[in-house]
Structure 1
Amino acid sequence: MARPIILAVDDDVNVLEAVVQDLRRRYGADYRVMRAAGGQAALDTLSQVKERNENVALLISDQRMPGLTGVQVLERSREVYPEARRVLLTAYADTEAAIQAINSARIHYYLNKPWDPPEERLYPVVSDLLESWRLGYRPRFEGLTVLGHRWSARDHEIRSFLSCNHVPYRWLDVDGEEGSKLLQERKLESAEFPVVLFPDGASLAAPSPEELAQRVGLKIQASKDFYDLVVVGGGPAGLAAAVYGASEGLRTLVVEPEAPGGQAGTTSLIKNYLGFHQGITGAELGQRALLQAQAFDVEFVTQRAAGLRIDGQYNFICMSDGREVSSHAVVLAPGVQYRKLDVPGAERLTGRGIYYGAALVEAPSCKDEDVYVVGGANSAGQAALHFSKYARTVTMLVRGPGLAATMSKYLIDEIGRTSNIVLRPQTQVIRAIGEEHLEGLRLRGPNGEEEVKAESLFVFIGAAPRTDWLPPAILRDEKGFILAGPDLRNDGKLPPEWQETREPFLLETSVPGVFVAGDVRHGSVKRVASAVGEGSIAVQFIHQYLAGF
């Protein structure tokens, strides 16, 4: 397969040659560095490589050029290669125009001339952008195939599992021409759906997550019986704890039943996370954190924690397959799940038109449909913006009078600029309608009740902690969120479960050596940045705890 292309654009031959040479010196082994001596020449080049089905990873264009400016070239390049990363090369006098272009032309970065030394002022930026492009890049399909029905809840679960774990796959409807033909070729007409087909000719009918994880190369069993630190949950808090723990010498295991990234991993775009001015998808953030953790030898297993057993100074995590692993310290970061929509018909149609969370795998299937989103927090706003790229309309159903009290202003502003998003305040779903799949909704609003046609409903109505597997010794509040540190006190007194003479550390639960981080903690701030902060801080308290052994 041809190497992806980096295209440099400048009408000044000397500057263009310098850019090309610097890029080739660092990236020539993995990318083909091409040049274009002007804006129109660049667009012509893009059209030619598009006809050859080649991939463009990055464009770097000078701003001041006759005919087309750099901003115009990069903006028009989006029509041909929308996923390519775009960098504007400017003089200091053009900095203001470059900053404006970040929003107007969706430019990912701008660099001032001169960029010497490139090791400090060029390569870090370009490397980060290429890594970002690579994580979202989908080469010519050579992965596995899922044969199923769109309105199957099990089919939806398998596709979500594969997508969240970055396993390439294509989905085919068993009733479609290509799907039914493939079914006959493999002689699988009587198989239970969905069926997963592998490139080597093997197949799995309606596999469990553990079966599928093992078949695609994910670990489902820990390699050791004992670790210094076991982290339960692979969301931002858990990944941060794993990175900081392992980087400071702790043998670390992460237990995650679905995929690194957690609930944040399904977020279409996070734009208020520090350091990512263009935003970053939850999946990409999770993948970057996973690679970082693996670089520190963190071990990951695709398993569900089913219990926690305390034996002296040792903590035993009981897995869903019956095995156990022990450790000196535990970080509980299993995250939360969206609360269920408690209306007639909702349970029956879950996974068959009603989805909890962003359900990004369903977005392409919503093309030209009318999609409904329930909820008014940031996650609902991010999902609405993502689905608006595919759906004919996206209607946000909000119980309150508006979004100002529950959503970040940058999202409210962007929703206001998106013509096919409709906001319906003070409106609730009171019934889900449909037999085999969702067909409509009954709504109650300020003007009474009405029925609307709907094939997809995405629900974001508050968080329920995943803590029912924990023993009674881990104290929780009335909603199931885990108490820690000062929150363990009741009327100024520590609970009888706390047997230590010292005070519990800030993120330490009612069991010494067991810490909590992220959304599952009582009183936590439901933001990615705060979850990452708690995960890293927990490790510092773990060191203090271990020092007392």
Structure 2
Amino acid sequence: MPDTPSRTGSRTTHDTDLIIVGGGPAGCAAARMAAGVGMRSVLIERDALCRNLYRIPALNNVLGGHTSGPGLADSITAELNSTEPCRLELGRHAVELRADDDQVAVTLDTGTRLTAPYAVVATGVGPLQPRDVPWITAPGSPALPPLWQADADDAEGRTLLVLGGDRPIGTFLRAHPTTDTRLLVAYPEADAYKTEEIRDDPRVTLLPVAHLTLHPAEQTTVTAAAVDRDGGQRTVTADAVHVSIGSAPTAPPGDLSRDGDGYCPPARQHPRVIVAGDLRSARFQRIMTALGSGSEAALHAYYAMRERPSR
């Protein structure tokens, strides 16, 4: 077991050995690995553990026999709830993260300030909205639900306008193979390569556009004016609209180095801050890579504490 500052009276006293911000697969894996090497941790999550996994109806690239997000999420949650060295702070979020030579301090929305020798930040990504991209105009539009939140009842016998061609569309179709629905997928040229896996599904109508203007819903009908790449115009009508534009990083405020897209490259962070999971970059956003990076992040903190104890 490491000779940690929190257990040695002659050294700086901290609230825990490791603060973990984010309770998705990466954050949960970090907490489990930390417990396995004798480190106490506090895991901060604004929602439920693995909340996004519960919205993935079908899995086909995860070890362990899990074929659905909810099944994997239940398994991870049960394990974390029985991991005694990990204290869960659910329903809370980090409003500030500060790192200095001796510690990391994380302030919660309640005003509570937690300190530890190291922190793992694994807050992941959230869905982009029409206001975040230049090819959609949606005046006064509230936040739209991502397609992966829709279920069979939302889609059965209905036409859904999907903004963006991101890959969760394929997941949705595989999860509901017999659902009688029609997806109108409006996407920019940059998303064309993402539509290869869905273009042969008879329930999909692809709408490559240069620009799309979403009009306020009238009763139960959604309409949009689409301008195609040749300048032609058309009116699109649907029963509901969902987004599948992509995701944006959701890093907490404070001492995190971000790139131009808002991601937090691990090599650019303060030595006491370790980034894990989808927050690292857009290139390897998969459940298996998140689990591995979370475990590696906890081990990074463990060995760093042994080699560089706080003064």
TM-score by length of 2: 0.81
Paired residues of 2:161 and 2:186 also in contact (CA < 8 A): yes
Give the deviation of 1:515 after TM superposition: 0.3
Question: 1:486-520: CA deviations, max 9, x gaps?
Answer: xx3xxxxxxxxxxxxxxxxxxxx2x2221001111
Q: Distance in 1 between matches of 2:112 and 2:31?
A: 21
Paired residues of 1:263 and 1:337 also in contact (CA < 8 A): no
Structure 2 partner of 1:299: 87
State which of 279, 290, 309 in structure 1 corresponds to 2:77. Answer: 290
Structure 2 partner of 1:355: 145
Structure 2 partner of 1:240: 29
Q: Distance in 2 between matches of 1:402 and 1:336?
A: 19
Give the deviation of 1:463 after TM superposition: 2.2
Structure 1 partner of 2:188: 399
Question: 1:311-337: CA deviations, max 9, x gaps?
Answer: 542222111122222222110000011
Q: Supply the AA of the counterpart residue of 1:358.
A: W
Secondary structure of the residue that 2:256 maps to in structure 1?
A: coil
Q: Supply the AA of the counterpart residue of 1:543.
A: Y
2:286 corresponds to 1:527:
yes
Structure 2 partner of 1:477: 259
Question: Which segments of 5 or more consecutive residues in structure 2 lack a partner in the other structure?
Answer: 1-13
Paired residues of 2:199 and 2:206 also in contact (CA < 8 A): no
Mark the CA change 1:358 to 1:463 in structure 2 (over 3 Å): closer, same or farther.
Answer: same
Give the deviation of 1:384 after TM superposition: 3.9
State which of 422, 425, 439 in structure 1 corresponds to 2:222. Answer: 439
Q: Distance in 2 between matches of 1:402 and 1:332?
A: 29
Structure 2 partner of 1:121: none
Secondary structure of the residue that 2:257 maps to in structure 1?
A: coil
Q: Supply the AA of the counterpart residue of 1:462.
A: G
Structure 2 partner of 1:449: 233
Could you say which structure has the higher helix fraction?
1
Give the deviation of 1:236 after TM superposition: 1.5
Q: Distance in 1 between matches of 2:257 and 2:72?
A: 31
Paired residues of 1:402 and 1:425 also in contact (CA < 8 A): no
Q: Which structure would you say has the larger Rg?
A: 1
Paired residues of 1:357 and 1:458 also in contact (CA < 8 A): yes
Mark the CA change 1:440 to 1:271 in structure 2 (over 3 Å): closer, same or farther.
Answer: same
Secondary structure of the residue that 1:272 maps to in structure 2?
A: coil
Structure 2 partner of 1:170: none
Q: Supply the AA of the counterpart residue of 1:231.
A: I
Paired residues of 2:98 and 2:106 also in contact (CA < 8 A): yes
Give the deviation of 1:251 after TM superposition: 1.1
Q: Number of matched residues?
A: 287
Mark the CA change 1:395 to 1:387 in structure 2 (over 3 Å): closer, same or farther.
Answer: farther
Identity %: 22
Structure 1 partner of 2:273: 514
Q: Supply the AA of the counterpart residue of 2:224.
A: L
State which of 199, 212, 222 in structure 2 corresponds to 1:430. Answer: 212
Question: 1:224-256: CA deviations, max 9, x gaps?
Answer: x81211111111111111111122221122111
Secondary structure of the residue that 1:458 maps to in structure 2?
A: strand
2:115 corresponds to 1:309:
no
Q: Supply the AA of the counterpart residue of 1:307.
A: E
Mark the CA change 1:544 to 1:533 in structure 2 (over 3 Å): closer, same or farther.
Answer: same
Give the deviation of 1:257 after TM superposition: 0.8
Mark the CA change 1:357 to 1:235 in structure 2 (over 3 Å): closer, same or farther.
Answer: farther
Structure 1 partner of 2:297: 538
Question: 1:433-484: CA deviations, max 9, x gaps?
Answer: 22466622222335622112223222122221112x322x422112221122
Question: Which segments of 5 or more consecutive residues in structure 1 lack a partner in the other structure?
Answer: 1-224, 489-508
Q: Supply the AA of the counterpart residue of 2:68.
A: T
TM-score by length of 1: 0.48
Give the deviation of 1:274 after TM superposition: 2.8
State which of 142, 156, 161 in structure 2 corresponds to 1:372. Answer: 161
State which of 242, 249, 252 in structure 1 corresponds to 2:41. Answer: 252
State which of 268, 279, 287 in structure 1 corresponds to 2:57. Answer: 268
